[in-house]
Chain A
Amino acid sequence: MHTKGQMEMMETVVVLIVFLVLIVIGLIGYGYYMKSSIKQMEENEKVERSLLLMNYILNSAEFQCSRNNVVKVNCIDFGKVKAFEGVGNENYREIFGFSKIGVKKIYPDKEDVVYFYEEGRGENKIVRSVPVLIYDGSYKIGMLVLEIYE
């Protein structure tokens, strides 16, 4: 036989348990959300880095095509790319970070990608490529390939 005091105590305990269960469910849900949100933020950060790198490469004198001081937009000079291969990755690590950057000719003839900066690290990466003009005596259409690592 329960007394009134015991009944009230039981009621308080049940309310506390329900409250705790609600908090735990909320925390678990929040944990899952945070996990996917952090992963999404990491992906976004890599996409943002790839956009910055792409912008840098297409607008830097080290790579862009120019004739009589007139710069051609979205164009990479293949001769400059080949020359860059010998410069050494360590000089550009501060700008390019952990990434692999290359160009690939596609039209009129398809060729393999030529990497001119290779500082890949680990497995976690995103690969993005954007169309560019490639000049190597004549104009070709190709891709600027960016592999962004963590």
Chain B
Amino acid sequence: MKKGQTELIGIVIIVVLLIFGALFFMKLPSKVETGEFETVYAGNTLSVILNYVPLYGCRDKNIGDLLRDCKFKCGYLGDACKCPCEFAEAEIRNVLDLLLEEEGSFGDYYFNAVKYGNEFIKIDKNCENNVGIYAPRYFVSGYEFKLKLCK
């Protein structure tokens, strides 16, 4: 075997070793996908808000029921049964501000409620057009509720 051939074999061995090394680096995927907990967090937040029954609300209606009662806005924060839009909106803001302050990793949020394609409630705290985590979509009899949390 000539010297040139031996050196070539050496180079081939080094290249093969490097390829195996690179493959090994790529072969350690993480089991939990990044953002999985955040998605669960956002989903729980939306579910908890919609199922929350305010103490001084309208009978035993939860926020989801109040949003479904929301036909037109009164323009002021009055009685929860007469002005369900304003009451629900104020409660959602209060709850989200407190929950996100407590959790710490999210600061801003975007919530909207849509009935048959028409948005009738939109609460945006610097999040609608920013990068964030969406809660899984929440549908109740023709209504769709969305929540997005931003860092």
Contact = CB atoms under 8 A, between A and B. Distances in A.
Contact of B44 (A33, A50, A74): A74
A40 B41 CA distance: 20
Interface stretch (A83-91, A106-114, A115-123): A106-114
Give the interface size class of chain B: 20 to 34
Contact of A74 (B36, B37, B51, B98): B51
Give the interface size class of chain A: 35 or more
A78 to B, nearest CB: 15
Contacts of B47: 73-74
A138 to B, nearest CB: 5
B121 interface: no
A139 interface: yes
A17 interface: no
Interface in B115-147: none
A131 B43 CA distance: 9
A66 interface: no
Given A108-B55, A133-B52, A54 B28 contact: no
A116 B32 CA distance: 27
B12 interface: no
Contact of A50 (B37, B48, B52, B99): B37
Interface string B5-36: 00000100010000001001100101110001
Contact of B51 (A37, A51, A133): A133
B36 A132 contact: no
Given A33-B25, A106-B98, A51 B48 contact: no
Interface of B: 10, 14, 21, 24-25, 28, 30-32, 36-37, 40-41, 44-45, 47-49, 51-53, 55, 94-95, 98-99, 102-103
30 contacts: A15-B10, A19-B14, A22-B14, A30-B25, A40-B30, A41-B31, A44-B31, A44-B32, A45-B31, A47-B37, A51-B32, A72-B51, A73-B47, A74-B44, A74-B51, A75-B51, A104-B102, A106-B98, A106-B99, A107-B94, A107-B95, A107-B99, A108-B55, A110-B98, A130-B40, A130-B44, A131-B48, A132-B44, A138-B53, A143-B102
